[in-house]
Structure 1
Amino acid sequence: MPLCRAFRRCPGHGRATQAPCGPGSRGGVGHVPSWAPDAPHRRVAGAHAPLPQELLIKPARVPVIVGPTGIGKSALAFELAVEIGGEIVVADSRQVYERLDIATNKPSPEQRRRIRYHMIDFVDPASTFNAAEYIDGARTAIQDIAGRGLVPIVEGGTMLYVDALCDGFSLAGVPPDDQLREVLAHLDVVELRERLLKLDPDPGVDLQNPVRMVRAIEILEVAGPPLRSLRQRTPPPWEPVRIGLTADLAVIDRRLEERSRTQVERGLVAETQAALDAGVPITAPVLTGIGYAEALAHIAGELTIDALPIAMAQSNRRYARRQLRWWRRDGRVRWFEIEPNPLAAILKYVKESA
């Protein structure tokens, strides 16, 4: 297997890192890099299709590319950014984590040399990161991009991140967490209350009602406190232009099977083992996601190497169908088939939407 990117421990910090230790590394949400660490500060110049001036005026209309995992959102966002002079704001709850690149499907080094990406590769994989932190960073990035006369393009598959960014927070966007609920089911009312109040001292829910407390904990684990503010929608000062990519389920399934095999061949197991060796716990959010969870099962002897990509594809198929159901409920999404290449039609739609 190819060697994965090396992890090392940051002396005195007990965490894995590739960046120098100290103030330059992530020390809180305030540090949100606006480009990939290995990319130049300026994007490569190129010829861009003329764009209506309205897209360059704040509040702008911002293209937002959604769709199921494996459909080609990243590739389309890259092509669109090259054509219209844009930068990409990634809306993915796992791509924020440093160094774990294979199962998170981060953009390639070549893409990152040509186009500036925001909201990737800046969170220690041993730590947590919630939706509220993401929204703060993503909205700042969008303002920065538009302020420099470029077009922000949002791309990603994390449903909560996309909807919270485009519409303001919605508690409905936090899906049930069966594993967490199983753990909480063993707690009595007093223990539930203590756990909830540690997360948010003033959650605004009935502290005698186990069902409401479980749901509040579930939301806070994902979105972060305060819970009261999450009930208030604060739409952004720009209008999302929602673009959905789709295909027949059989096509999506084939793409996911191929991607799973490729990820294993690229060294997914070695990358996962390197994270463990560097001290990233198996309970870290990034390692519980699709790809790494199955790789951990292989490392534990629960899956053979041949069964690994099959299990990954199965998990991805379920996730893709959940994403499709979620976004097809939104009548504001304009859908495009991925074959033939929809770039020209999407360019036309983006310009007409301005």
Structure 2
Amino acid sequence: MKTIVILGQTATGKSELAFRLAKTLNGEIISADSIQIYKYFDVGSAKPSKTCLKEIKHHLIDIKEPDEDYSAQEFSIQAKQIIQEIKSIGKIPMLCGGTLFYIDALLNSLDLIPQVDSKIKNFFDSVGNENVINLYKWLKIIDPKWAQKINKNDKQRTIRALSVFLQTGSSLTNFFNTKKKENFFENCMIFSLQISDNVLEKRIIHRTTNMLDGLIEETLNIIKMGFAQTKPMQSIGYRQALLYINGKITKEEMTDSIIKETKLYAKRQKTYFSSKFKDKSIKVDYKNAFETIMEYLYQSHLP
């Protein structure tokens, strides 16, 4: 029994596809999304509806408060445990999501990287509060390849890479390239959703405009709960909504910024998926992905 992995750029319908497959094949879904793990962040993360969550068991959704930390390493450890648990009850595990660091962690066994001493982490946390840009400049010197993968304002991932270097004397990139990897691919059937850039852009625009009012209302509620300065609030959508609510940008500027950043994120996803899964995934058109995957599984006598 293999794990079914659904990969695709944002706004390609991964969650809906995974739900249909899980319902048909008696499966359970493991979310690989760095915002869906947080409670209250529903609209901007395109979290599955409460109806879907009740009908099909989803894992690693709503498992953290907004002010709690969660790393790709934790995801890798928990995802592997959950996959085994799902298999043990005779169901099919389905991994679905587009967070590159989470998927990288699982495929490259990030959980095998040594834990960082708390003193090192606390040091970088205190320095990072003052100026994350300066830390990012150090990261570009120590580990330029890893620096290219993350946003210069991504405090958590910048600190993570610097901490690993100080702890081990080796860059995170070098760790991935030299350590023994688990052969995750052999235990998976990986399907990659294909979509043209033009169609994807239209879907991103449509999704953004449809969620706008709900996103603003949700962001206001999160602020009232005291979570305005949390990590998930810096993600695409919530960051712009916060600026709008604080009167720093107009609603039109908010919309344009979300669309622009989502398109850039989708481009990074496409590059990543192409480099990682070029010869290891089965490409399927997003429009008829369910039928194509079911036919493939039927011919393969199911995973």
Instruction: Specify the TM-score bucket, using the shorter chain as the normaliser.
Output: 0.7 to 0.9
Using the TM superposition, give the Cα deviation of residue 236 of structure 1 relative to its aligned residue in structure 2, in angstroms.
6.2
* Residue aligned with 1:342, SS: helix
Q: RMSD in angstroms over aligned alpha carbons?
A: 3.0
What does 1:319-334 align with in structure 2 at a 5 Å threshold? 319-329=265-275, 330=277, 331-334=279-282
Q: Give me the TM-score of the superposition, normalised by structure 1.
A: 0.67
* Residue aligned with 1:87, SS: strand
Q: Distance in 2 between matches of 1:107 and 1:296?
A: 23
Q: Which amino acid aligns with 1:246?
A: Q
Q: Is the 8 A contact 2:76 2:105 kept in 1?
A: yes
Partner of 2:210: 262
Q: Distance in 1 between matches of 2:76 and 2:194?
A: 26
For the structure 1 residues 99 and 161, does the alpha-carbon distance in structure 2 shift closer, same or farther, using more than 3 Å as the test?
same
Pick aligned residue for 2:291 from 341, 344, 348: 344
1:148 and 2:93 are equivalent in the alignment:
no
Using the TM superposition, give the Cα deviation of residue 117 of structure 1 relative to its aligned residue in structure 2, in angstroms.
0.1
Q: Distance in 1 between matches of 2:212 and 2:140?
A: 42
Q: Distance in 1 between matches of 2:141 and 2:104?
A: 25
Q: Give me the TM-score of the superposition, normalised by structure 2.
A: 0.78
Using the TM superposition, give the Cα deviation of residue 309 of structure 1 relative to its aligned residue in structure 2, in angstroms.
2.2
Pick aligned residue for 1:75 from 16, 29, 39: 16
* Residue aligned with 1:165, SS: helix
Partner of 1:277: 224
Pick aligned residue for 2:237 from 281, 291, 294: 291
Partner of 2:45: 104
- Equivalent pairs, count: 264
Query: Residues 242-297 of structure 1, C-alpha deviation per residue, up to 9 Å, x if partnerless?
Result: 111121111101111111111113x2112112222222142x22111111011011
Query: Residues 125-156 of structure 1, C-alpha deviation per residue, up to 9 Å, x if partnerless?
Result: 01221111111111111111111100000000
Q: Distance in 2 between matches of 1:275 and 1:158?
A: 22
Q: Distance in 2 between matches of 1:234 and 1:343?
A: 31
Q: Distance in 2 between matches of 1:223 and 1:334?
A: 36
Q: Which amino acid aligns with 1:145?
A: I
1:212 and 2:142 are equivalent in the alignment:
yes
* Residue aligned with 1:245, SS: strand
For the structure 1 residues 333 and 299, does the alpha-carbon distance in structure 2 shift closer, same or farther, using more than 3 Å as the test?
same
Pick aligned residue for 1:184 from 91, 114, 135: 135
For the structure 1 residues 184 and 166, does the alpha-carbon distance in structure 2 shift closer, same or farther, using more than 3 Å as the test?
closer
Q: Is the 8 A contact 2:77 2:111 kept in 1?
A: no
Query: Residues 61-80 of structure 1, C-alpha deviation per residue, up to 9 Å, x if partnerless?
Result: 11111110001000110011
Partner of 1:221: 160
For the structure 1 residues 256 and 233, does the alpha-carbon distance in structure 2 shift closer, same or farther, using more than 3 Å as the test?
farther
Q: Distance in 1 between matches of 2:233 and 2:215?
A: 12
Q: Is the 8 A contact 1:165 1:236 kept in 2?
A: no
Structure label with greater radius of gyration: 1
Pick aligned residue for 1:164 from 76, 93, 105: 105
Partner of 2:198: 250
For the structure 1 residues 104 and 222, does the alpha-carbon distance in structure 2 shift closer, same or farther, using more than 3 Å as the test?
farther
Using the TM superposition, give the Cα deviation of residue 301 of structure 1 relative to its aligned residue in structure 2, in angstroms.
1.5
* Residue aligned with 1:257, SS: helix
Q: Is the 8 A contact 1:68 1:324 kept in 2?
A: yes
Q: Which amino acid aligns with 1:271?
A: E
Partner of 1:62: 3
Q: Which amino acid aligns with 1:294?
A: Q
* Residue aligned with 1:332, SS: coil
Query: Residues 322-347 of structure 1, C-alpha deviation per residue, up to 9 Å, x if partnerless?
Result: 101110122212111112x2212112
Q: Which amino acid aligns with 1:343?
A: F
* Residue aligned with 1:79, SS: helix
Q: Distance in 1 between matches of 2:103 and 2:23?
A: 22
* Residue aligned with 1:306, SS: helix
For the structure 1 residues 92 and 222, does the alpha-carbon distance in structure 2 shift closer, same or farther, using more than 3 Å as the test?
farther
% of aligned pairs identical?
A: 27
Q: Which amino acid aligns with 1:287?
A: M
Query: Residues 181-216 of structure 1, C-alpha deviation per residue, up to 9 Å, x if partnerless?
Result: 623268xxxxx7xxxxxxxxxxxxxxxx98228969
- Deviates most, 219-228 or 320-329: 219-228
For the structure 1 residues 213 and 222, does the alpha-carbon distance in structure 2 shift closer, same or farther, using more than 3 Å as the test?
closer
Q: Distance in 2 between matches of 1:77 and 1:298?
A: 33
